[in-house]
A and B are shown apart, each in its own frame.
Chain A
Amino acid sequence: MTRLRTLLAAAALVGTAALIAGQEPLPSLVLPGAGLPAIDRGLREWDAPRPPGGARTAISRLDEPDPDMLRASLIVKFADDAPAETRVRTLSGIHGTRVPRQAWADFDVVMLPPGEDPAHAAATIATRPDVEYAQPRYRIHKLFVPNDPLYSRQWNFPAIDMERAWDINQGASSNVVVAVLDTGVAFQTTTLRFTGQAIFPFPPLGQVDVPFAAAPELGGADRFVAPRDFIWNTDLPLDMDGHGTHIAGTIGQVTNNGSGVAGLAFNVRLMPIKVLDGDWDAIFNSPFIASDDLIARAIHYAADNGAHVLNLSVGREGPPAPAVRAAIEYAVGRGVFVVVAAGNEFEVGNAPNRFADFAADIRGMVAVGSTGRGNQRAFYSSTGPHLELVAPGGDMRRGGTAAGILQQTYDPDVVDRFFLSRFGPPRFDMFVYDYYQGTSMAAPHVAGFAALLMQQGITTPAVIEALMKATATDLGTPGRDNEYGYGLINPRAALRGMGLLK
Chain B
Amino acid sequence: MKAAAGLLLIALLMATPASAQSPASRREPVPPRMTVMLFADAGVDILHAVDSLHAIFNRNSAGSIGGGLRVVLPKGLFANVRASRLQMTGERTFLFEGQSYSLGVADTLTIIPIQVSVAVRTGRLGERAVPYMGGGVGWYRASEQSAFSDASETAERTSPGIHLMGGADVRLWKGLGLGGEVEWSHVPGGLAGTGVATSLQDTNLGGVSVRMRLLVGGW
Residues from chain B with Cβ under 8 Å of A457 in the complex: 101-104
A494: shortest Cβ distance to chain B, in Å? 8
Q: Which of B94, B142, B157 contacts A498 (CB 8 A)?
A: B94
| Chain A: interface size category | 20 to 34
Q: Are A502 and B104 in contact (CB under 8 A)?
A: no
Take A457-B104, A467-B94 as given contacts and tell me if A499 and B56 are in contact as well, using a CB distance cutoff of 8 Å: yes
Residues from chain A with Cβ under 8 Å of B96 in the complex: 462-463, 466-467
Take A168-B105, A463-B101 as given contacts and tell me if A497 and B93 are in contact as well, using a CB distance cutoff of 8 Å: yes
Residues from chain B with Cβ under 8 Å of A470 in the complex: 94
Take A456-B103, A495-B103, A497-B105 as given contacts and tell me if A502 and B144 are in contact as well, using a CB distance cutoff of 8 Å: yes
Residues from chain B with Cβ under 8 Å of A168 in the complex: 105, 147-148
B9: shortest Cβ distance to chain A, in Å? 28
Q: Are A499 and B196 in contact (CB under 8 A)?
A: yes
Bound form: Cα–Cα A456–B93 in Å? 11
Residues from chain B with Cβ under 8 Å of A462 in the complex: 96
Bound form: Cα–Cα A498–B93 in Å? 5
Could you give, for residues 157-187 of chain A, a 1 whenever the CB lies within 8 Å of some chain B CB and a 0 otherwise?
0000000100110000000000000000000
Of residues 383 through 442 on chain A, the ones whose CB sits less than 8 Å from some CB of chain B are none
B89: shortest Cβ distance to chain A, in Å? 11
Q: Are A496 and B148 in contact (CB under 8 A)?
A: yes
Q: Does B155 contact A (CB under 8 A)?
A: yes
Bound form: Cα–Cα A462–B149 in Å? 27
Residues from chain A with Cβ under 8 Å of B155 in the complex: 499-502
Q: Does B95 contact A (CB under 8 A)?
A: yes
Q: Does B191 contact A (CB under 8 A)?
A: yes
Q: Does B25 contact A (CB under 8 A)?
A: no
| Chain B: interface size category | 35 or more
Bound form: Cα–Cα A455–B102 in Å? 12
Q: Does B197 contact A (CB under 8 A)?
A: yes
Q: Are A501 and B144 in contact (CB under 8 A)?
A: yes
Q: Which of B105, B156, B194 contacts A496 (CB 8 A)?
A: B105
Q: Are A501 and B93 in contact (CB under 8 A)?
A: no
Residues from chain A with Cβ under 8 Å of B149 in the complex: 496
| Closest A residue, CB atoms, query B197 | A500
| Closest B residue, CB atoms, query A465 | B96
Q: Are B92 and A498 in contact (CB under 8 A)?
A: yes
A348: shortest Cβ distance to chain B, in Å? 38
B175: shortest Cβ distance to chain A, in Å? 34
Of residues 117 through 168 on chain A, the ones whose CB sits less than 8 Å from some CB of chain B are 164, 167-168
Bound form: Cα–Cα A185–B193 in Å? 47
Bound form: Cα–Cα A467–B103 in Å? 11
Of residues 188 through 211 on chain B, the ones whose CB sits less than 8 Å from some CB of chain A are 191-197, 199
Bound form: Cα–Cα A167–B155 in Å? 20
Bound form: Cα–Cα A497–B148 in Å? 12
Q: Does B40 contact A (CB under 8 A)?
A: no
Residues from chain A with Cβ under 8 Å of B191 in the complex: 500-501
Bound form: Cα–Cα A67–B187 in Å? 46
Q: Are B94 and A501 in contact (CB under 8 A)?
A: no
Q: Are B148 and A502 in contact (CB under 8 A)?
A: no
Bound form: Cα–Cα A458–B147 in Å? 18
Q: Are A500 and B144 in contact (CB under 8 A)?
A: yes
A142: shortest Cβ distance to chain B, in Å? 10
Q: Are B103 and A497 in contact (CB under 8 A)?
A: yes
Q: Which of B101, B144, B157 contacts A499 (CB 8 A)?
A: B144
Of residues 458 through 478 on chain A, the ones whose CB sits less than 8 Å from some CB of chain B are 458, 460, 462-463, 466-467, 470
Q: Are A458 and B144 in contact (CB under 8 A)?
A: no
A10: shortest Cβ distance to chain B, in Å? 49
Take A167-B148, A168-B148 as given contacts and tell me if A498 and B105 are in contact as well, using a CB distance cutoff of 8 Å: no
Q: Are B107 and A499 in contact (CB under 8 A)?
A: yes
Q: Are A500 and B107 in contact (CB under 8 A)?
A: yes
Residues from chain A with Cβ under 8 Å of B103 in the complex: 456-458, 495-497
Residues from chain A with Cβ under 8 Å of B114 in the complex: none
Q: Are A502 and B195 in contact (CB under 8 A)?
A: yes
B203: shortest Cβ distance to chain A, in Å? 9
Bound form: Cα–Cα A501–B196 in Å? 7
Q: Does B52 contact A (CB under 8 A)?
A: yes
B96: shortest Cβ distance to chain A, in Å? 5
A496: shortest Cβ distance to chain B, in Å? 6
Bound form: Cα–Cα A457–B154 in Å? 23
Q: Are B195 and A496 in contact (CB under 8 A)?
A: no
Residues from chain A with Cβ under 8 Å of B127 in the complex: none
Bound form: Cα–Cα A155–B134 in Å? 62
Residues from chain B with Cβ under 8 Å of A167 in the complex: 148
Bound form: Cα–Cα A470–B52 in Å? 18
Residues from chain B with Cβ under 8 Å of A501 in the complex: 109, 142, 144, 155-157, 191-195, 197
Residues from chain B with Cβ under 8 Å of A458 in the complex: 94, 101, 103
Pick from A164, A463, A494, A500 the residue with the most CB of B within 10 Å. A500
Bound form: Cα–Cα A470–B96 in Å? 10
Residues from chain A with Cβ under 8 Å of B153 in the complex: 496, 502
Residues from chain B with Cβ under 8 Å of A463 in the complex: 94, 96, 101
B209: shortest Cβ distance to chain A, in Å? 19
Pick from A168, A460, A498, A499 the residue with the most CB of B within 10 Å. A499
Q: Does B146 contact A (CB under 8 A)?
A: yes
Could you give, for residues 123-149 of chain B, a 1 whenever the CB lies within 8 Å of some chain A CB and a 0 otherwise?
000000000000000000010101111
Q: Does B182 contact A (CB under 8 A)?
A: no
Bound form: Cα–Cα A457–B91 in Å? 12
Could you give, for residues 25-68 of chain B, a 1 whenever the CB lies within 8 Å of some chain A CB and a 0 otherwise?
00000000000000000000000000011011000000000000
A248: shortest Cβ distance to chain B, in Å? 27
Bound form: Cα–Cα A463–B100 in Å? 10
Residues from chain B with Cβ under 8 Å of A460 in the complex: 101
Bound form: Cα–Cα A387–B148 in Å? 31
Bound form: Cα–Cα A496–B197 in Å? 16
Take A463-B94, A470-B94 as given contacts and tell me if A499 and B146 are in contact as well, using a CB distance cutoff of 8 Å: yes
A490: shortest Cβ distance to chain B, in Å? 13
Q: Are A500 and B52 in contact (CB under 8 A)?
A: yes
Bound form: Cα–Cα A446–B14 in Å? 65
Q: 28 pairs across A/B with beta carbons < 8 Å?
A: A456-B104, A457-B101, A457-B103, A458-B101, A458-B103, A463-B94, A463-B96, A463-B101, A467-B101, A495-B103, A495-B105, A496-B92, A496-B105, A496-B148, A497-B105, A498-B94, A499-B144, A499-B146, A499-B155, A499-B195, A499-B196, A500-B55, A500-B142, A501-B109, A501-B142, A501-B195, A501-B197, A502-B153
5 closest A-B pairs by beta carbon, nearest first, are: A502-B155, A501-B155, A497-B103, A501-B193, A497-B92
